[in-house]
Structure formats: C-alpha cells, structure tokens
Structure 1
Amino acid sequence: MPVSILKPEKGRLLIAEPSILNDSSFKRTIVLLTEHTQKSSVGFIMNRPLQYSLNDLVPDINCDFTVYQGGPVEQDNLYFIHKIPELLPNSIEVNDGIYWGGNFECLKEHLNNNTVKPSDIRFFLGYSGWDTNQLDDELKTNSWFVSQNVYPNIFAINNETLWKNQLLKRGGEYRIWANAPSDVQMN
C-alpha cells in the first residue's frame, strides 16, 4: 500500500527519516511545525528532553517542568507551546487547540500558583528553523516525512517511543529502522 505524501503545514509533524542518523541535531526526532510559509518554517523538537527543569533556567518560577531541546537555532532562548490560551493573552494559534507563546508574566503567575499542568504546556530551549525552500529541499532528499498530528494531547506523549511509533505506523522497511538500536554501530 503506497504511503500518501503530505505537504508541510502548521500543526503537522516532521519525522526524521532513518537516513539522517548521523545528524546530531535531528537524529530520531519529531518536530511540530508551528509556522510554515513560503519564506520560512519554524518548529520544535517534541521528543528530546533536556536535563533542565524550568526552575533551573528561570529561578523565580517555582516549577520543575522538563525543558526540551527545541532545535539548533537560538538555544539560549526559552520558548513554549501550550493548550491554555484562555490563561495566556497574546497566544498565537498553531492549529487544533495548540498555541505558541503568550504573555510570559501571566504564565509565571499561573506556574507559581500551580494552575498549569505539564500536560498543558511544553518548554524549549531553541527552535528548529528553515529558510525559503530549505525544508522543501530536505523533504526532496528524504531527510523528513510529514505526518498529521493525530495525538489528542501532544504534550502528554511518550518521548521514548514517539519516533519509533511513527516509523512503525509507516510500515515496510521503516519497521526495521524503528526497532534498530539508537547507536546502529552497537547492532
């Protein structure tokens, strides 16, 4: 059964192809696209938790939510996507109930008051970005494939199995790669 080829769009997922296993920035990653225009694309790696909590980076926030590596661009900046726009003025809708950014002072207050759950939000250091035609070129060279975001709550997914499960759903030779060790030299 042939696999349908989706185009990148806001809210869709970019799944790293097994062919980029030597790319330390994107090996075995899933990127949620938060912006896709003819000029650029922006997204965040959803399955690469860091060893930092939010409180490690912003000491006046009493919150130990995990921070993720969003991508190789601007890794000294903190970003967030969420599903609580009613609590965060100036949020930008990505699609299907997922929002990007918003008023950080309001967010700090809600985090310190424990009115936000980890399943409501995800924090990132850096982002993944592509200039004009760069993502299209990477798709043509089979660095990525595009998938619908079918997760009812992408913030509550299992980071350990996200990439593997996407490959298993794709089927065929992807099943072999899904079950390969993280370091294929160890096989």
Structure 2
Amino acid sequence: MDDGIAVGRLLVATPHLEDPNFRRTVVLIAEHDENEGTLGVVLNRPLEVPVDRVLPPWAELTTSPSVVFQGGPVAVDTPLALARVPGTEEPLGWRALDGDTEVGRVGLVDLDAPPALIAAEIIQMRVFAGYAGWAPGQLRAEIAEGAWYVVAGEAADVFAGEPERLWQTVLRRQRSELAFVATFPEDPSLN
C-alpha cells in the first residue's frame, strides 16, 4: 500500500487527532526507513524563546519569527536546525534531507560548526527543540487509523511567516476535499 510516506512530504494532523503533542500540527518528514522508522519536525509550534537566548551565534541567520520552535516531543533539550541553501552544492555544515525531496534544497545544519562556515549559503533557517519519531510501522498504522493526511510539502512551509496558520494554509491548497478540512472549527462542540 502506498501511503505517501517519504522524506520531504508533510504529515498534517486530522481534526480527529487529539494528542496535545500533535493537535493541528504540520510535520515535515525528515527521515524515513522501513526498518528504522520515521523522524519528523513539527513546523507550526513557535515557542516564546528567542533563538539568541539558546543559540546566540545562530540568531542572526534565523528566519522571522526568530524564536525556537517545538519540533516534537522527543529530545526536547536537543536543538536542531533546518536551512534552505541555493544551488546544487552541499556546503560544509549542512546536510540535505535524504532522497529527492519535494521541499527543495532543505537540510539539517550542524549547530556545532561555526556559523560563519555556512552563513553565506543560508537563504532561510529555523531552529527546533526536539523532534517527532515513529517506530517502524507505527506511522503507517496511525495514517490507517485516520490520524494523519500525507501531502506534498513546499520550502515555504518549513519557513512560514505565519506558522500558527500553517495547518489551514497547507490544507487549503489541496486540490481535493482536504481543502474543506481547513475550515474545521477548533472546537466543533461550539458550532
């Protein structure tokens, strides 16, 4: 069964997913292996922590809003960064997401490297606290249960200027009944 799980695709929480870690989230699939599982980064959970408070050398390179984002419930004390770079070369201090991704030249930044090493190459960058992870087969089962939609991603999704609206934005651009899901009320009982 082709469920669409692939690096660069987006997992969009269905309105029925009530887990507070993932309610109305948009997750970029950053790694996927049938035997190892899946790793993703929640793109639409900005925190109130400025990047310059946790990673001062990287603050000037981050895309607005220049805050740390909650990347997921796993390893929340470990920062990771995604950045977009131009061209086809792989600059030092940056590793492209595996596979032929749909989000363009987006990859992981080595936050232990000096920022000057990659600064000239970065077009956009976001810092995340933690990530989301699924054991082999777990994500496929959650999709089958109706917890996630799997849709195409765009580089603009990773660096959205209004991350709080990303869930609606991604759903609204779908060319199917998913576009209507974007209007699903926050609390249907108030409808």
TM-score class, shorter-chain normalisation, is: 0.7 to 0.9
Whichever residue aligns with residue 37 of structure 1, its letter is D
Give the 3-state SS of the residue equivalent to 1:15 in structure 2.
strand
Q: Unaligned 5+ residue runs, structure 1?
A: none
Per the alignment, residue 143 of structure 2 pairs with 139
Change in 2 beyond 3 A, CA 1:170/1:50: farther
What TM-score, normalized by structure 1, do the two folds share?
Answer: 0.79
2-structure distance, mates of 1:110, 1:185: 52
Change in 2 beyond 3 A, CA 1:10/1:167: same
Note the aligned Cα RMSD (angstroms).
2.7
Instruction: From 8, 20, 31, give the equivalent of 1:24.
Output: 20
Instruction: From 140, 159, 175, give the equivalent of 2:163.
Output: 159
Whichever residue aligns with residue 132 of structure 2, its letter is S
Q: How far 1:46 moved relative to its partner?
A: 0.8
Change in 2 beyond 3 A, CA 1:152/1:130: closer
Q: Identity of paired residues, percent? A: 28
2-structure distance, mates of 1:56, 1:89: 22
Summarize deviations over 1:48-91 as a string: whole Å, max 9, x none.
11111111113455547221110000011101111137554352
Cα contact 2:126–2:159 (8 A) shared by 1 = no
Paired residues, what number? 176
Per the alignment, residue 112 of structure 2 pairs with 104
1-structure distance, mates of 2:143, 2:59: 41
Q: Unaligned 5+ residue runs, structure 2?
A: none
Q: How far 1:43 moved relative to its partner?
A: 0.7
Instruction: From 4, 8, 13, give the equivalent of 2:10.
Output: 13
Whichever residue aligns with residue 16 of structure 2, its letter is S
Instruction: From 107, 115, 125, give the equivalent of 2:129.
Output: 125
Is 1:35 aligned with 2:64?
Answer: no
Change in 2 beyond 3 A, CA 1:75/1:134: same
Per the alignment, residue 53 of structure 1 pairs with 50
